Amino acid sequence: MIADDTQTCQPLAGGQSLMPMLNLRVAQPEVLVDLNRIAALSFIEIQNDVVHIGAMVRYTALMHSPLIDKHVPLLAMALPYIAHQAVRNRGTIGGSVALADPAAEMPAVLKALAATIVVVSAHGQREIPAEAFFLGIYETALDEGELVHSIKIPLATSGHRFGFYELARRHGDYAMAGVAVSAQSINPCTELSIVFFGVADQPLRAVDAQAVLEGCAISDNAALTAAQQSLPAELMLGDTGVSADTRLQLARVALKRALLSMAD
Amino acid sequence: MTGPLHRFDQPGTYIGRSVERADASRLVEGEGTYVDDLQLPRMTHAAFVRSQHAHAKIKHIDVDAARAHTGVVAVFTGADINPLVKPYVGILTHLQGLRSPPQLPMADQVVRCQGEPVVMIVAQSRAIAEDACELVQIEYEPLKALVSAEQALDKDAPTIHPELDNNTAWVREIDVGDASAAFSRADVTVVERTFLFGRHTGVTVEPRSVVVEYNRSDNTMVFHYSGQAPHMMQAILAKHLDFAEENVRVVTRDVGGSFGIKIHTYGDEIATAVAAKLLRRPVKFIADRLESFTSDIHARDHRIQGRIGVDSDGRIVALEIDDLTGIGPYSMYPRTSAIECNQILNLTGAPYQIDHYRARGTVVFQNKNMMCQYRAVGHPVAMAVCDSLLEEVAGEIDMDVVDIRRRNLIADDAYPVTSATGMKFADLSHQQSLERLVELMNYDQLRADQSDRRKKGCYRGIGLVSMVEVTNPSPMFYGVGGAPISAQDGATVRLDAAGALHVSCSITESGQGTHTILAQIAADVFGVDIARVKVSTGDTAHVPYGGGTWASRGAGIGGESVLLAADALKAQVLEVASSILQTTPDTLDIENGVVVNADGDDKISLDELGKIVYYRGNELPAGVNAELIATRHYRVTDYPFVFTNGAMAAHVEVDIETGFIKVLDFWVVEDCGRVINPKLVDEQIRGGVVQGIGGALYEECLYDEEGQYLNATMADYLVPMAGEMPDIHIAHIETPTCTSTLGAKGAGEAGTGGAPAAILNAVNDALRPLNASIFQMPMTPERVLNALKA
């Protein structure tokens, strides 16, 4: 059905974004394909040096998974910030990836962790790096007829450090600004990966900030200030609640607080 | 309190006890019956195509495709519906000069705000009706949208209504004493600020909902609605749809929140009634969340210039406000959209002794959704303006904010008092409430903690408010101005053959515990176990006539009517019992369902008495004609309103890097007279405070410059959520009102009325060392950051 291009078709995962969109008549597919009973898409397992997570794994399952706690701590840090328990009971990691909401936590976390998105179609399977997967607001590298199958995330190694911070008016809201940080080490910082969410049209890698901080101690104030200043003002989006200027200010604060939390 | 023990202070009484709500488990278990639960034979479902434009001419409407859509029963435009409705006008004669053009349920040639109903689709399901809505083609010619009140007021602005010479709906001025002279005195310190209050709305969990049935054979209508004022709706429907009033029955079952949203005349609901009549089939209309945001009445939206002057002792010598408010394209019917401004003018400065007061209110039409009465009408604005000015000027003369209140509050022993604006106050306890608050919040320790934290770069603030609340209104509120709104309420109390009490009352239950308190009063006054009291409300065919539940009037007015009726029934029952027992009524009493003698000995149970009266009347002496039913009505006569008072405080922390405000704690000392059910009163206050915090920090109906509503979803319009709310600590002072036996004043709106002022003051207190301040609500992070940059 998904391969059939004579009708508009929408896969239904946890439905925590799609159902409201249907209610609002923003999405009007002719066919809904319910993925909820495909047991083969609900697995969490270790394969060599990655954790492999099926697209239909729900947030609550991830939160209760010792594998995630141990091997993907950044994901574990982000999960409690996703909406509310009722939403997490239904919402899936694959649904969030496929939707590509730039304000959502999952795309930024996966990008920060250099995860790989495994997609399938009638023609077979391919793997797309998270870095190249999220292209814009609700826009991904998925081709017509392709479905997110699973996500592969490299295992954290000892010494690997992570930071996560988000600013939301109310717990569970989409962030006004948030950031996911991963580093191979922090004193000095090496292989720093900094990805913002809720600030631009896609999960935003802070390339300049990474470069500024690389090789510096994480608590180096001058480097931190320079990193804050290096955030790309021109990519910040404004909306009804927050102007682009405020967004930039909040992103800078989020960065500082995420990094400081890693130094503790 | 001194003196003999009052009848309600006796041990074992129900009044004053936190009796559990009898209907709570029914509602929690999902067994409530809301309007959308009604499924009637042949029922149809309505959806509306609403104006996308804030102001436009309708050039052409094409409904052919919609009409042809499978499952569509009928398609109506204003041309079909409006001629069957007598236009309604949102004015009250005692608001002199208020004007508003006649309104009709659906748009007619010109749309004047976004969301105005243009086409109504009636179909076999709501989904089909919505599908058909998408097939309607409407050609508009956009007109200049006057979105802000300032724009509408501009002398060069086009008029929204061609029949009016400008966009002003109402102006009121008050000038008591000589404010100018007082402000210009050499010893007077004057502070002036401009306050902005954003629009917000009620966001009821159950949206506005109606199911309308029409019976052609006897020309009767049943209007099932989720609302607060069944008799008012009955009168309105009868008058404007041309029915004899007795042929309209309004039924209200469980209501999922109302907050003042559901006491107005909405075009979509009236159109639904007309459609039911035209189709001779039941029609259901349930507003969806988008419709709720864009068409439920909005409130607040005031810009106020305020000025206060105090002498060197911190005594207020003069207060002045100038309020500008935009109300949408019409004044809402029948309560009008001028009441909020009127309340602000009446209530600003009300807790304090002020001799010189000048106020001006300007109410203008604009191309936004209509504004009207929402919980705590005008109070949050009036209290925030006065108490913010007071704390600002206290800062200016370096006086503590508690101290300056002590110097200005009307003394507890001064009542009755008439305020500068003519408000009559009685039985208030501002001083006692403030002292209790200071003790409850541990004020001195909080101040010490604040100063320690400031040294570490942590900005915490403490803000207070002393406030009044209008409750238990008399006919001087609406009835005097010509509105079909009853200020009195009635109750019938009846004893059945099994010795149980049946209470029916004209006030309504919206989830706040009305039924529980009425049962408490009846059980208490009459003398039965509360489990044997059944309460019904919300059906004009079966309850006495009355106003319903709004303006914090249910307990005070409806409750008193139940008290009077239960007292009267008791007298009847004792009369009957005395004839059966061959004694006199004054030697008897009723205790726990049994008639007892002066020694407390059981003489006859109510169960037995009921059976004699109803089944074995032959045992009654000749000439004894037992009724076992009594009806009484009550209205407030001695005062236009019964005011309550309170003192509140907020403790907040401002994150100066992000502009985020965290409310750490909140305290309320409330004097609502006699407390019937402490738990229910406390939860009313807590819920009210939360709604007040919503207005202060989160909630705002945002429009763009074209009059397009920007945040009509629950993701974008932020309501306060439990996770962000502080502990709300509550204490009571009980000064019963002298206007009734029960002594209860209202408690429904105080929290909402006072909380924004306390939060505003706390935030400005936190920002003071940074030389920053904010006078705009909601205080969003962005606005706080901008205040810090200024």
User: Are residues B558 and B436 both part of a single domain?
Assistant: no
Whether residue A174 lies within 8 A of chain B, CB to CB, comes out as yes
User: Are residues A13 and A131 both part of a single domain?
Assistant: yes
Average pLDDT of the residues in B549-570? 96
Chain A closest CA to B780's CA: distance in Å? 8
**Encoding tokens for residue B535?**
């309460």
Q: How many domains does chain B have?
A: 3
In the prediction, which pLDDT does A142 show? 97
User: Are residues A121 and A185 both part of a single domain?
Assistant: no
Burial degree of B488 (CB within 10 A; 0-12, 13-18, 19+): buried
Whether residue A30 lies within 8 A of chain B, CB to CB, comes out as no
Nearest chain A residue (CA) to B784:
A246
Average pLDDT of the residues in B518-546? 97
Q: What SS3 string covers B455-489?
A: HCCCEEEEEEEEEEEEECCCCCCCHHHCCCCCCCE
Chain B closest CA to A58's CA: distance in Å? 21
Q: What SS3 string covers B34-91?
A: CHHHCCCCCCEEEEEEECCCCCEEEEEEECHHHHHCCCEEEEEEHHHHHHHCCCECCC
Please report whether residue A29 resides in a domain: yes
Query: pLDDT per residue over A140-164, tens digit each?
Result: 999 999 999 999 999 999 899 999 9
Please report whether residue A1 resides in a domain: no
pLDDT of B429 strictly over 60: yes
Domain of residue A20 covers: 9-154
Are residues B385 and B321 in contact, defined by beta-carbon separation less than 8 angstroms?
Answer: yes
C-alpha span between A81 and A177 (Å, rounded): 12
Average pLDDT of the residues in A209-213? 97
C-alpha span between B450 and B461 (Å, rounded): 7
pLDDT of A49 strictly over 80: yes
Query: pLDDT per residue over B90-101, tens digit each?
Result: 999 999 999 999
Average pLDDT of the residues in A235-243? 92
User: Are residues B25 and B60 both part of a single domain?
Assistant: no
Whether residue B660 lies within 8 A of chain A, CB to CB, comes out as yes
Which amino acid is residue B559, in one-letter code? G
Q: Which of A101, A124, A154 is the last residue of a domain?
A: A154
> H or E stretch including B693?
helix B678-693
Whether residue B217 lies within 8 A of chain A, CB to CB, comes out as no
What is the DSSP-derived secondary structure letter of residue B377? T
Predicted interface score ipTM higher than 0.85: yes
Q: Which of B266, B295, B324 is the last residue of a domain?
A: B295
Whether residue A62 lies within 8 A of chain B, CB to CB, comes out as no
With CA atoms as reference, report the closest residue to B409 among B504, B515, B314, B494: B314
User: Are residues B496 and B542 both part of a single domain?
Assistant: yes
Please report whether residue A124 resides in a domain: yes
Average pLDDT of the residues in B393-410? 98
User: Are residues B458 and B333 both part of a single domain?
Assistant: yes
User: Are residues B667 and B595 both part of a single domain?
Assistant: no
Average pLDDT of the residues in B338-357? 97
Please report whether residue A94 resides in a domain: yes
User: Are residues A21 and A140 both part of a single domain?
Assistant: yes
Query: pLDDT per residue over A70-97, tens digit each?
Result: 999 999 999 999 999 999 999 999 999 9
For the domain that residue A215 is a member of, what is the CATH number? 3.30.390.50
Chain B closest CA to A171's CA: distance in Å? 7
Q: Which of B616, B634, B652 is the last residue of a domain?
A: B634
User: Are residues B379 and B235 both part of a single domain?
Assistant: no
Please report whether residue A242 resides in a domain: yes
- Banded model confidence at residue B420, pLDDT cuts 50, 70, 90: confident
Burial degree of B623 (CB within 10 A; 0-12, 13-18, 19+): exposed
User: Are residues A73 and A150 both part of a single domain?
Assistant: yes
Contacts of B475 (CB under 8 A, 6+ apart): B487, B488, B635
User: Are residues A107 and A168 both part of a single domain?
Assistant: no
Please report whether residue B588 resides in a domain: yes
User: Are residues A114 and A171 both part of a single domain?
Assistant: no
Q: Please state whether beta strands B459-471 and B588-591 pair in parallel, antiparallel, or not at all (unpaired).
A: unpaired
User: Are residues A75 and A140 both part of a single domain?
Assistant: yes
C-alpha span between B470 and B425 (Å, rounded): 10
Whether residue A85 lies within 8 A of chain B, CB to CB, comes out as no
Contacts of B449 (CB under 8 A, 6+ apart): B460
pLDDT of B6 strictly over 80: no
SS3 B646: strand
C-alpha span between B266 and B372 (Å, rounded): 12
Which is it for the CA torsion B45, B51, B54, B59, positive or negative? Answer: negative
In the prediction, which pLDDT does B2 show? 43
Question: Per-residue b/e over B559-580, b at no fewer than 16 CB within 10 Å?
Answer: bbbbbbbbbbbbebbbebbbbb
CA distances B14 to A4, B7, B11, B682, B751, Å, are 69, 11, 9, 17, 25
Between these two residues, B225 and B6, which has the higher pLDDT value? B225
Nearest chain A residue (CA) to B701:
A240
Chain A closest CA to B47's CA: distance in Å? 14
Chain A closest CA to B330's CA: distance in Å? 27
The region, left, alpha or beta by phi > 0 then psi within -120 to 50, assigned to residue A252 is: alpha
pLDDT of B1 strictly over 60: no
CB contacts, 8 Å: B779 with chain A: none
User: Are residues B681 and B566 both part of a single domain?
Assistant: no
The residue with tokens 């009369």 is B575
For the domain that residue B570 is a member of, what is the CATH number? 3.30.365.10
The answer to whether B781 contacts A250, with C-beta atoms less than 8 Å apart, is: yes
Mean pLDDT of chain B: 96
C-alpha span between B641 and A262 (Å, rounded): 60
Which of A23, A240, A242 has the CB atom closest to B711's CB atom? A240
Whether residue B770 lies within 8 A of chain A, CB to CB, comes out as no
- Banded model confidence at residue B4, pLDDT cuts 50, 70, 90: low
User: Are residues A123 and A217 both part of a single domain?
Assistant: no
Q: Which of A154, A173, A200 is the last residue of a domain?
A: A154
For the domain that residue A90 is a member of, what is the CATH number? 3.30.465.10
Q: Which residues on neighbouring strands pair with residue A167, listed in sequence order?
A: A177
Are residues B447 and B464 in contact, defined by beta-carbon separation less than 8 angstroms?
Answer: no
User: Are residues B93 and B240 both part of a single domain?
Assistant: yes
Question: Which of A1-5, B102-106, B162-166, B518-522 shows the lowest mean pLDDT across its residues?
Answer: A1-5
For the domain that residue B82 is a member of, what is the CATH number? 3.90.1170.50
Please report whether residue B698 resides in a domain: yes
Number of Cβ atoms within 10 Å of the Cβ of A8: 11
Mutate to test the interface with B, among A246, A248, A252, A256 (most CBs of B within 10 A): A246
Whether residue B708 lies within 8 A of chain A, CB to CB, comes out as no
The answer to whether B724 contacts A170, with C-beta atoms less than 8 Å apart, is: yes
Nearest chain B residue (CA) to A251:
B658
Q: Please state whether beta strands A31-34 and A9-12 pair in parallel, antiparallel, or not at all (unpaired).
A: parallel
Nearest chain A residue (CA) to B660:
A169
User: Are residues B44 and B80 both part of a single domain?
Assistant: yes
Number of Cβ atoms within 10 Å of the Cβ of B12: 8
In the prediction, which pLDDT does B790 show? 87
Domain of residue B739 covers: 298-475+638-789
CA distances B204 to B311, B374, B377, Å, are 45, 11, 17
Average pLDDT of the residues in B290-299? 97
User: Are residues A196 and A249 both part of a single domain?
Assistant: yes
Please report whether residue A3 resides in a domain: no
Whether residue B725 lies within 8 A of chain A, CB to CB, comes out as no
Please report whether residue B185 resides in a domain: no
With CA atoms as reference, report the closest residue to B33 among B262, B290, B224, B276: B224
pLDDT of A130 strictly over 80: yes
Chain Cα centroid distance, residue B140 = 37
User: Are residues B330 and B369 both part of a single domain?
Assistant: yes
pLDDT of B763 strictly over 70: yes
Burial degree of B330 (CB within 10 A; 0-12, 13-18, 19+): buried
Q: How many domains does chain A have?
A: 2
Whether residue B780 lies within 8 A of chain A, CB to CB, comes out as yes
Which of A169, A240, A243 has the CB atom closest to B710's CB atom? A240
Distance spanning both ends of chain B, measured CA to CA = 52
The answer to whether A171 contacts B723, with C-beta atoms less than 8 Å apart, is: yes
Which of B288, B721, B782 has the CB atom closest to A242's CB atom? B782
**Encoding tokens for residue B218?**
């006897």
pLDDT of B713 strictly over 60: yes
- Banded model confidence at residue B5, pLDDT cuts 50, 70, 90: low
Q: Which of A154, A179, A207 is the last residue of a domain?
A: A154
Please report whether residue B195 resides in a domain: no
Average pLDDT of the residues in A183-210? 97
User: Are residues A111 and A192 both part of a single domain?
Assistant: no
The answer to whether B780 contacts A241, with C-beta atoms less than 8 Å apart, is: yes
Contacts of B367 (CB under 8 A, 6+ apart): B54, B55, B112, B113, B114, B145, B146, B147, B160, B328, B329, B707
With CA atoms as reference, report the closest residue to B694 among B316, B374, B453: B374
CA distances B248 to B173, B241, B243, Å, are 40, 10, 7
C-alpha span between B519 and B15 (Å, rounded): 10
Chain A closest CA to B767's CA: distance in Å? 19
CB contacts, 8 Å: B716 with chain A: 240-241
Please report whether residue A2 resides in a domain: no
Please report whether residue A135 resides in a domain: yes
C-alpha span between B151 and B167 (Å, rounded): 10
Q: Which of B295, B312, B339 is the last residue of a domain?
A: B295
For chains A and B, count residue pairs whose Cβ atoms are closer than 8 Å: 52
Q: Which residues on neighbouring strands pair with residue B604, listed in sequence order?
A: B595
C-alpha span between B667 and B697 (Å, rounded): 17
User: Are residues B305 and B453 both part of a single domain?
Assistant: yes
**Encoding tokens for residue B307?**
């000025």
Mutate to test the interface with A, among B785, B786, B788, B789 (most CBs of A within 10 A): B785
Chain Cα centroid distance, residue B624 = 46
Whether residue A168 lies within 8 A of chain B, CB to CB, comes out as no
pLDDT of B527 strictly over 50: yes
User: Are residues B626 and B645 both part of a single domain?
Assistant: no
What is the full DSSP assignment across B745-766? Answer: ---SSHHHHHHHHHHHHHHHHH
User: Are residues A18 and A109 both part of a single domain?
Assistant: yes
Chain A closest CA to B134's CA: distance in Å? 10
Please report whether residue B386 resides in a domain: yes
